[in-house]
Amino acid sequence: MFGEDDIVRSHKGRAVLIFNIVIACFVIILIRLWYLQIYKGDEFYKYSVQNRLRKETVKAPRGMIFSRNNELLVHNVPRFDAIIVPQYLTNKKETLSKLAKILEMSEKSIYGILKKNSYQARYRPIIIKKNISRKEVAVIETENSKMPGVSVQTFISREYADKEIGSHALGYISEISQQQLPTYRERDNFHYKLGDFIGQAGIEKNFDLDLRGEDGYQFMEVDARGRMKRLIGGKNLFAGIENKPATPGNNIRLTIDRDMQKMAYDTLEGKVGAAVAVDVNSGEILAMVSRPSFDPTEFSRGLTAKYWKKLSQDEFKPMTDRTIQEHYSPGSTFKTFTAIAALEEKIITANQEINCPPTFRLGRRVFHDWKRGGHGLTDVYKSLRRSVDVYFYKIGVKLDIDILSDYAKQFGFSSKTGVPLPREIPGLLPYKEWKLKKTGEPWQKGETLSCVIGQSYVLATPIQLAMAYATIANGGKLLQPYLLKEIFSSDGTIRKKFSPKVVNTVTVSQESLEHVKKGLYQVANHRKGTAWWYRGRGIRMAGKSGTSQVRSMTKKELFSRCVDMPYKDRHHGIFVAFAPFDNPKVAVAAVVEHGCSGSGAAAPVVRNVIETYMKKYEPETYAKYAKEDKENARRIYLKEKKIRDEAARKLKESTEDDE
């Protein structure tokens, strides 16, 4: 039998082991406590403090956009959104019922928004209603204690001063979509997040990274229900926790002149079309307008279904930028380049007169001039002044289409201009090889006759027409159009400046250019010119009218009144000009869809824009020319009155003799 001592001795080793284990556990606990409270104490203290805080992103204000004369075109304004943070949402039914009444929404729609966003973390805010009124803001702030989890979030929204005017060039911003995230992150090497607003069109899109700035953040102390108690400044209890201010985006100064832009837009009132004005010596875009248009502010505020339906169902496509995203047959405005090619190829000389009857026959096909009785003897000046179709038909039978296209290409046709805007299209110039690949059929001589007058396969955008005529005006330098003068920071530091860029110098003699310039001058300044009645005073513009047919027409339709045709069958009206003739400064192209004639529909747009330029930038020249034009008009009136009076006198004498 074992005694008590034997039993104690037999358990002693086990007791020592247990004792050592207990001591070891206490040592481990003490070490862990030392690690947590002393070694990591400051860090975990900071974490514990942060549990009382909420970190909120401070959105960086986007850079502002100015006109060439420092007028503010795009700026930022505060917007208020009603939000819910699900983490702090208690008394859900009661809270949502109160919120629905304040926002004049149904409870069902609020529940739907919460359900739609249920996949995201509960601490992230969910926007229930955007752009709430200041009255709604005040009520929510007053009732905040009774609606845990509900608050108002301030957001910086984009405001476009001139609304629809020039909106295609400026573009718009809207919230990035789930589908865009991976593409845009890779494209810009920037970590976009859901909820970020990005440029979706125009300048806002192409220069988004320059405009967007860098977001900051701030900490605020909250209670158990997530309600803000105070903002944190990094002192006392919260030492070491610092807010990061947002860095504003860079500002942009454009080449756009606001007055010219507004004039172009106003003159296009009630029309579908576009206008572009450029500086002929630098390539700066002075005006760029497309109608119908849209209000980009609506996108920044959060596009409503009603407004989007209005835009998307409009048959005239207000979201399309007709200056660069729509091309047209240039019509008679292309005859200028046919004349240049013919002069250079020695097919004609400037003063050589060619008889131009009402029609021209090629094989079994008869080509009609726009004038029923024809034009008789015609030289290159008259061919442009009166836009004589038969003159160019006779050139067309001698001019190879590839040669014509090569000359036109030098002036920028069939190539993107390089304007810094998205989705520009290149237009089209036909070549024999191009047609063979496209249709499998060889080029026909009759097709050249359609192309020499700017119809058939020839297509051009308004900005291409403006740059092509600017090239004629400046003596042969094809410039790349640009919209930005400079990018500068909020403190005024210039980040980047933009300067003229010559894309091509045409291999055309100055003599040929001077001949066509003279013809273009007569279009608006000769009594028989097609744009005589729309020439204006004080601007001395030189240009070309064009009528672009939208479909083939019978002889009867060709000579019928355009305004009597169905709207969709009417010709487009095109006019392109530069001014002043003796020292060109500005070139303007305008297209009016289904406007019937270039002189009647588009010329007034061009005239008004050029007149705005002359009054603003060349006031002395404008005043001088206006005075001379007034005197010339009076001389012409008196001369014609004298002729009429003499004719009336002779008629009276003849009548008396008969009696």
The confidence score (pLDDT) of residue 187 equals 83
Q: What is the dihedral of CA 623, 625, 630, 631, to 10 degrees?
A: 120
- Give the HSE-up count for residue 187: Cα atoms under 13 Å, Cβ half-sphere: 11
pLDDT over 70 (residue 241): no
* List of residues 6+ apart from 281 with CB closer than 8 A: 474, 500, 584, 585
Task: Report angle CA 245, 246, 248 to the nearest 5 degrees.
Answer: 135
Do residues 250 and 210 make contact, with C-beta atoms less than 8 angstroms apart? yes
Buried b (16+ CB within 10 A) or exposed e, 147-161: bbbbbbbebbbbbbb
Bridging pattern class, strands 150-160 and 126-129 = unpaired
The residue-averaged pLDDT of 196-212 equals: 92
Determine which of 442-456, 521-535, 541-555 has the lowest per-residue pLDDT on average.
541-555
Cα–Cα dist 330/464, whole Å: 10
CA dist 406 to 92, 398, 412, 508, Å? 73, 15, 10, 11
The three-state secondary structure class of 479 is: strand
pLDDT over 80 (residue 137): yes
Cα–Cα dist 651/359, whole Å: 36
Q: At what angle do helices 462-473 and 335-344 cross, to 10 degrees?
A: 40
* List of residues 6+ apart from 634 with CB closer than 8 A: none
What does the longest C-alpha to C-alpha distance in the chain come to?
A: 177
User: Mind listing the pLDDT tens digit for each residue in 419-429?
Assistant: 999 999 999 99
What stretches of 461-509 show up as alpha helix (H) in DSSP?
462-473
User: Mind listing the pLDDT tens digit for each residue in 462-518?
Assistant: 999 999 999 999 999 999 999 999 999 988 899 999 999 999 999 999 999 999 999
CA dist 150 to 82, 118, 142, 194, 218, Å? 7, 16, 11, 21, 19
Report the sign of the C-alpha dihedral through residues 356, 359, 363, 365, in that order. Answer: positive
Cα–Cα dist 634/109, whole Å: 72
Mean pLDDT of the chain: 88
Among residues 131, 165, 348, 361, which one has the least CA distance to residue 274? 165
The residue-averaged pLDDT of 249-275 equals: 97
Do residues 168 and 274 make contact, with C-beta atoms less than 8 angstroms apart? no
* Burial degree of 401 (CB within 10 A; 0-12, 13-18, 19+): buried
Long-range CB contacts for residues 27-34, cutoff 8 Å, separation at least 24: none
The confidence score (pLDDT) of residue 258 equals 97
Q: How far is CA 228 from the centre of its chain?
A: 42
The confidence score (pLDDT) of residue 84 equals 87
Cα–Cα dist 391/399, whole Å: 13
The encoded tokens of residue 529 equal 């010119």
- DSSP designation for 168: H
User: Mind listing the pLDDT tens digit for each residue in 586-635?
Assistant: 999 999 999 999 999 999 999 999 999 999 999 999 999 999 988 888 88
Cα–Cα dist 362/379, whole Å: 21
Bridging pattern class, strands 65-66 and 251-254 = parallel
pLDDT over 70 (residue 575): yes
Neighbours of 302 (CB within 10 A): 17
Among residues 231, 252, 250, which one has the least CA distance to residue 241? 231
The residue-averaged pLDDT of 375-401 equals: 97
Among residues 470, 581, 447, 571, which one has the least CA distance to residue 523? 581
Cα–Cα dist 358/388, whole Å: 10
The three-state secondary structure class of 519 is: helix
The residue-averaged pLDDT of 247-273 equals: 96
The three-state secondary structure class of 1 is: coil
pLDDT over 80 (residue 583): yes
Residue entry with tokens 């013809």: 519
pLDDT band at 161 (very low <50, low <70, confident <90, very high): very high
Residue entry with tokens 């947590």: 36
The residue-averaged pLDDT of 512-531 equals: 96
The confidence score (pLDDT) of residue 228 equals 54
Do residues 618 and 585 make contact, with C-beta atoms less than 8 angstroms apart? yes
Q: What is the dihedral of CA 14, 19, 20, 21, to 10 degrees?
A: 90
* List of residues 6+ apart from 505 with CB closer than 8 A: 476, 477, 478
* List of residues 6+ apart from 160 with CB closer than 8 A: 73, 74, 167, 170, 172, 295, 296, 297
Do residues 333 and 340 make contact, with C-beta atoms less than 8 angstroms apart? no
Among residues 85, 63, 221, 195, which one has the least CA distance to residue 148? 85
Neighbours of 241 (CB within 10 A): 16
- DSSP designation for 599: I
